[in-house]
Amino acid sequence: MDRPRLGYVGIGLMGLPMTRRLLERGYAVTVCDIVAARTEAARAAGATVAATPAQAVRGADIVLLNLPTPDAVAQAAFGEQGVASALRPPQLLVDFSTVKVEQGRAFAAKLREQTGCGWVDAPVSGGPPACAAGTLTVMAGGDAAEIERVRPLMADIAGLFTPMGASGAGLAAKMINQLIVGCSFAVLAEAVVLAEAAGIDAARIPECLAGGYADSSMLEKVYPRIVARDFAPQGYARQLLKDLEMLNEFAGGLKSPLPMSGQALSLYRMLVHLGYAELDTAAVFKLYERAGSP
């Protein structure tokens, strides 16, 4: 099978394991990142290294972005030596980043106007382990024909790939994902606090609740890390805060009341303010440790 040649801009916590996965699956990947250690790790795995996003575009059929902030996406796409300076039809851009819904739509419209090329918003859920295993959950928005063009690629990186509609629809779905995820991190932290205070074996709660209404992927995967106080980042607290701020703005614009996610937003603002921005999102548990300390 002829696989598309890929350019990949942003190979950090999520992008690097995805790049390794793509290389293992036989894709030719040219990578670009501002951190040299990341590009060297990708080179060691078999990737070609580009000095700029524009260089990563050359020779690629599909260009992938996986960046931490909207500003980083804008710079990589439209800055000097950005993707838009080199992209030409029939090349296609797929953005795995999480940006504001209206920003994503504006980026797609701008790219189409400047280059004639399509932009698929394809935010992801599942973290670095799912990137490495090819089991990500991907929600997509964009032109239907262009989404179909990337479906074979998604089969190699995603356990579930769901087109949600026109440009921005994938990002809207990601906001709902982050609503559920943000609240769940706080709830799981409280569950650990309560289990330990009750004097029961907190580590056995996922086993005890398996198959019931409280069971979930996060109970299985995140809760044990909180019990173990393992806060090595699989997703940064600052990133979830960024997403919850976006969610708050998005819901406000729609006049959709979200009191639970508002509480999660307050907790993550506090967590980052206290200096835990670079820890895993599960480190919200530290707020409960501090509250309970003498």
Which of 123, 139, 165 is the endpoint of a domain? 165
Q: Do 161 and 176 belong to one domain?
A: no
Which of 119, 141, 165 is the endpoint of a domain? 165
Task: Report pLDDT digits (tens) over 152-165.
Answer: 999 999 999 999 99
Report the percent of the chain where pLDDT is more than 70. Answer: 98
CB < 8 Å & 24+ apart, contacts of 147-155: 147/120, 149/62, 149/92, 150/62, 150/92, 150/94, 150/120, 150/122, 153/3, 153/4, 153/6, 153/62, 153/94, 154/122
Specify if 146 maps to a domain: yes
- CATH number for 211: 1.10.1040.10
- What is the rounded average pLDDT for all residues in the chain? 96
Task: Report, as an integer, the average pLDDT of 50-67.
Answer: 97
Q: Do 25 and 153 belong to one domain?
A: yes
Specify if 1 maps to a domain: no
Q: Which residues form the domain of 185?
A: 172-292
Amino acid at 229: R
Amino acid at 181: V
Which of 146, 165, 184 is the endpoint of a domain? 165
- CATH number for 38: 3.40.50.720
Task: Report, as an integer, the average pLDDT of 94-123.
Answer: 97
- To the query of whether residue 286 is one of the catalytic residues in this protein, the response is no
Backbone angles phi, psi at 135, to 5 degrees: -120, 25
In the set 174, 221, 255, 286, the catalytic residue is 174
